Structure 1
């Protein structure tokens, strides 16, 4: 299935698409190359253009732009962080499954982590225009995708799906927080009016 079709199906018909995904033979490496790597690049690439070329409005100094080297540094660290983060999230998904009476499976856990991030990765396109950053909230649709995928891929019983999903969401937010801290620690901020 093409990347475009998979993205469209997981966003528009997630219940049906999770059943298709559950049956597909695949590997973690294949999913990284064909799905995770291209989609995880959307936000970082958009942020380079948005922050360095377009810039953002500042009521005191006017239009402010981030130095090109700084935005590239942020983007590289964010991209690598996303690639690592989806793998760490998959490990957490896999390990938590037995606690919630589900089925522990590394590949299915990675599929769940990768495909449920689709909306969040696509929402990264709004980084092109920093004033539209608020629209990145549309990425929260990924939480719903995760919720729908849990019983299908990890076979968590319906009575445990909400608790399992909530636990995974807390872990995902912790991963994002750590990535954000690493970005600000590794790449110094540099802006130019």
Structure 2
């Protein structure tokens, strides 16, 4: 229930939800493991169904599908990458906190960094439901919209959760966004390397 409340709150009333996140006394493990493993299932399972059961078309051609075994491998790798990405982003937020004047205890900063990473990536996880229908335009629009809202959440939530003034929070948020972009590029490069090792998609008619 807490998972649904946080996911719903961050999408509908972020200002109030950030205060709730700031006042939450949950540990790092509770924050991470009660949210991310479940949210990461959304794009992974939706993507699996989309590429194996629905397929995608190029022009007026017949839909292209991936084999089940190939899709399982790729979706499993995606799931692990999503878990790792949120964890690493949270660690970077925590690591940069002293630079931007966060004075909370180490435990509190660790909780706040992880909570921020979980909350700002929630729109991207939820947008993964659109992978049920593989379409470059639909999926791109969904991810761009979710990404824009995630950026808004970072700037909105940083001064509240980290309890710092807006000027420092702006610079802090900009740094977090830069780290997020670097992680995304790293994931793309990793995907290319994995495909180059022969663990790429296997198509079926």
Q: TM > 0.5 between the two? A: yes
Cα deviation, residue 62, structure 1? 2.6
Pairing 1:113–2:121 present:
no
Distance across 1 between alignment mates of 2:180 and 2:29: 21
Distance across 2 between alignment mates of 1:100 and 1:113: 17
Q: Would the aligned equivalents of 1:47 and 1:128 in 2 still touch at CA under 8 Å?
A: yes
The farther-off stretch of 118-127 and 69-78 is 69-78
Distance across 2 between alignment mates of 1:3 and 1:106: 19
Cα deviation, residue 36, structure 1? 1.0
Q: Would the aligned equivalents of 1:151 and 1:161 in 2 still touch at CA under 8 Å?
A: yes
Give the aligned length. Answer: 193
Pairing 1:24–2:24 present:
yes
Distance across 2 between alignment mates of 1:100 and 1:179: 27
Report what 1:128 is aligned to.
132
TM-superposition CA deviations, 1:114-170 (whole Å, max 9, x none): 111110110011111012212222211111112111111222321122222121111
Q: Would the aligned equivalents of 1:123 and 1:137 in 2 still touch at CA under 8 Å?
A: no
Report what 1:151 is aligned to.
159
What does residue range 160-175 of structure 1 map to in structure 2 within 5 Å?
160-175=168-183
Q: Would the aligned equivalents of 1:93 and 1:109 in 2 still touch at CA under 8 Å?
A: yes
Pairing 1:139–2:151 present:
no
RMSD (Å) for aligned C-alpha atoms: 1.7
Cα deviation, residue 83, structure 1? 0.9
Distance across 1 between alignment mates of 2:90 and 2:154: 12
TM-superposition CA deviations, 1:64-115 (whole Å, max 9, x none): 1122222211111111111111111111111222222234611111111111
* TM-score (structure 2 length as normaliser): 0.87
Report what 1:42 is aligned to.
42
Distance across 2 between alignment mates of 1:69 and 1:154: 44
Match of 2:102, SS?
A: coil
Distance across 2 between alignment mates of 1:192 and 1:59: 18
Report what 2:33 is aligned to.
33
Q: Would the aligned equivalents of 1:36 and 1:114 in 2 still touch at CA under 8 Å?
A: yes
Distance across 1 between alignment mates of 2:191 and 2:41: 15
5+ residue gaps in structure 2? none
Q: Would the aligned equivalents of 1:116 and 1:143 in 2 still touch at CA under 8 Å?
A: yes
Report what 1:188 is aligned to.
200
